[in-house]
């Protein structure tokens, strides 16, 4: 799963691409646990040539960007479609709910 910097994240949003970004921090234990699930799921989606991609964004790298995306708690998944934030899930989320997010984009 690719780690995006602020510039890349803005480019992805502006491109209209369908994607989910994992808002995380290195010090966050639940984020690390979710990261493993998301890494596996990202590989699965790539292998299936799915149109939805998964990315990561370290909120510590740009707190202004995190604030602009209303990140108040992590782990947090944000789904984007056509440049709009269309879904948000906060906390530990099972793979089935992540797949629901993917399929609803």
Token readout for 13 is 């949003």
Q: What is the pTM of this model?
A: 0.94
The SS3 of residue 67 is helix
- Catalytic pick among 28, 65, 66, 78: 28
pLDDT digits (tens, 9 = 90+) for 42-101: 999 999 999 999 999 999 999 999 999 999 999 999 999 999 999 999 999 999 999 999
For 1-105, list the strands marked E by DSSP.
Answer: 2-3, 19-24, 53-58, 76-81, 84-90
Is residue 31 flagged as an active site residue? yes
Edge-to-edge, what's the strand order for the sheet holding 84-90? 2-3, 53-58, 19-24, 76-81, 84-90
Is residue 92 flagged as an active site residue? no
Domains in the chain: ranges and CATH: 2-104 (3.40.30.10)
């Amino acid at each position: 799963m690719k780690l995006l910097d602020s510039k890349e994240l803005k480019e992805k949003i502006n491109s209209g691409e369908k994607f989910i970004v994992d808002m995380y921090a290195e010090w966050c234990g639940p984020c690390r646990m979710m990261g493993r699930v998301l890494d596996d799921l990202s590989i699965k989606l790539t292998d299936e040539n799915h149109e939805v991609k998964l990315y990561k964004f370290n909120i510590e790298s740009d707190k202004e960007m995190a604030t602009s995306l209303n990140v108040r708690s992590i782990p947090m998944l944000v789904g984007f479609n056509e440049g709009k934030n269309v879904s948000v899930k906060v906390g530990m989320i099972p793979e089935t709910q992540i797949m629901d997010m993917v399929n609803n984009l």
